[in-house]
Amino acid sequence: MRTAVQSVGLLLALLGWVLAIITTYLPHWKNLNLELNEMENWTMGLWKACVIQEEVGRECKDFDSFLALPAELQISRILMSLSNGLGLLGLLGSGCGLDCWRLGESQKGLKRRLLILGGLLLWTSGMMVLVPVSWVAHVTVQEFWDETLPEIMPRWEFGEALFLGWFAGFCLVLGGCLLHCAACWSPAAPALGRYAVAGLQDHGSYLENGTAQPQQARGRSRAGSGSRDVLMGLVFRKATQSAALVLALLGWVLACLTNYLPHWKNLNLELNEMENWTMGLWKTCVIQEEVGRECKDFDSFLALPAELQISRILMSLSNGLGLLGLLGSGCGLDCWRLGESQKGLKRRLLILGGLLLWTSGVMVLVPVSWVAHVTVQEFWDETLPEIMPRSALFW
């Protein structure tokens, strides 16, 4: 189990490091959609700005001056570059300290120190990704709601690289923590329970053959009933774990579908029954009998209602926590032979996985219930004219 935790931590850290590198060089930290010219979109990164036009395509230009950039972009360049370097050093150090790596098998203390150092470097690398991404997002929100600017002036909004950076930083921090924790765990001593199991098996064979000793034959009935109770308890425990994991897997798949389906709200036009509108967290669609379905992504995240903004964040976090919970609880199942000698660790993984899945479920129920509550309030709003169409819940 110790080796498995190290491998999972290293894979998460590797994924986060690759995504952090992509985030550093993607020119999509900010997006600018011009309402007066919908055929032209602007994007900005740490190194260059791009304009996307339907007729010409994409044209990018590097920034002429580093010192002329805003402070958040200057610091973000430095922190993201340092994060990429520290992440590489952390991956090399923790990779050399893995138990499954035969290099330096006789120097257990050195490998343990390398694993701890690599975990700390990866954790630091993740924090150095989260800080600039969150800082740029904070400045973008402030500028978007700046009342001193005229309303007709276009505003910068969140780009795709910010969400990618948050996920990359989370993977790096989690991978570093797992590697550090795995290094602090001491290898489990050989289990002594096998001798007791062997004794019970020998005792069972004596009972089956009818050759039990007198003192064993005296307690035959009590031993038989006790063995059956223990066996039934183990079967019930494994069946409960399997059923719970299947239910959690089903819930996680449905939560992922709920996150991306554009059917959170429906709008039926009584004056035009041939046209129906649907809305989700990421896009809105119109369904017409003649044309079919046409969908369009929301232009601005910050311009969305508060319930849709929070729902996006909570649903995305729920999907991530649900995946981690499934992996943790799956490794802690009794029917999984990996780490059979470390019962305490498997039990802790099962508890941690259950808590993560419970949290993931709550983070699905909250946004869904919030959107339903707002929809009901708007549906029965007496201040709106009766002829105005109302959104309805989609089941």
Residue from 127, 170, 175 nearest 5 by CA: 175
For residues 234 and 154, give the distance between their C-alpha atoms in angstroms, rounded to a whole number.
64
Give the list of residues 6+ apart from residue 339 with CB closer than 8 angstroms, or none: 1, 2, 4, 331, 345, 346
Name the percent of the chain in helix, strand, coil, to the closest 5: 60, 10, 30
Beta strand pairing call for 157-158 and 30-33: antiparallel
195: amino acid identity, one letter: Y
Mean pLDDT for 191-196 is 42
pLDDT for res 229: 66
294: amino acid identity, one letter: E
Which residue do the tokens 């950076």 mark? Answer: 165
Residue range 339-390, pLDDT digits in tens: 667 777 788 888 888 999 999 999 999 999 998 888 888 877 777 666 555 5
- Contact criterion met (CB below 8 Å) for 316 and 301: no
- CA 390 to mean position of chain CA atoms: 34
Collapsing DSSP states into helix, strand and coil, what is residue 213?
coil
At residue 380, φ and ψ (nearest 5 deg) are: -105, 20
Residue from 236, 342, 266 nearest 4 by CA: 342
Which residue do the tokens 């189990």 mark? Answer: 1
The pLDDT confidence band at residue 202, using thresholds 50, 70 and 90, is very low
Over 73-127, what HEC string results?
Answer: HHHHHHHHHHHHHHHHHHHHHHHHCCCCCCCCCCCHHHHHHHHHHHHHHHHHHHH
378: amino acid identity, one letter: E
Domains (range + CATH), the chain: 1-186 (1.20.140.150), 237-395 (1.20.140.150)
Over 274-296, what HEC string results?
Answer: CEEEEECCCEEEEEECCCEEEEE
* Token couple for 117: 């150092």
Give the list of residues 6+ apart from residue 103 with CB closer than 8 angstroms, or none: 96
pLDDT at 277 over 90: no
Residue from 1, 61, 109, 3 nearest 341 by CA: 1
For residues 125 and 123, give the distance between their C-alpha atoms in angstroms, rounded to a whole number.
5
The pLDDT confidence band at residue 99, using thresholds 50, 70 and 90, is confident
Mean pLDDT for 101-115 is 74
pLDDT at 173 over 50: yes
For residues 114 and 179, give the distance between their C-alpha atoms in angstroms, rounded to a whole number.
10
Which residue do the tokens 């909004």 mark? Answer: 157
pLDDT for res 157: 87
Residue range 315-326, pLDDT digits in tens: 988 998 999 899
- Give me the sheet containing 30-33, strands edge to edge: 57-62, 48-53, 40-44, 30-33, 157-158
Residue from 30, 33, 32, 50 nearest 137 by CA: 30
The pLDDT confidence band at residue 201, using thresholds 50, 70 and 90, is very low
What number of other Cβ atoms are within 10 A of residue 9's Cβ? 26
- Contact criterion met (CB below 8 Å) for 159 and 52: no
pLDDT for res 102: 65
What number of other Cβ atoms are within 10 A of residue 223's Cβ? 17
Q: Per mean pLDDT, which of 187-201, 206-220, 273-287 is the most reliable?
A: 273-287
The pLDDT confidence band at residue 269, using thresholds 50, 70 and 90, is low
pLDDT for res 57: 77
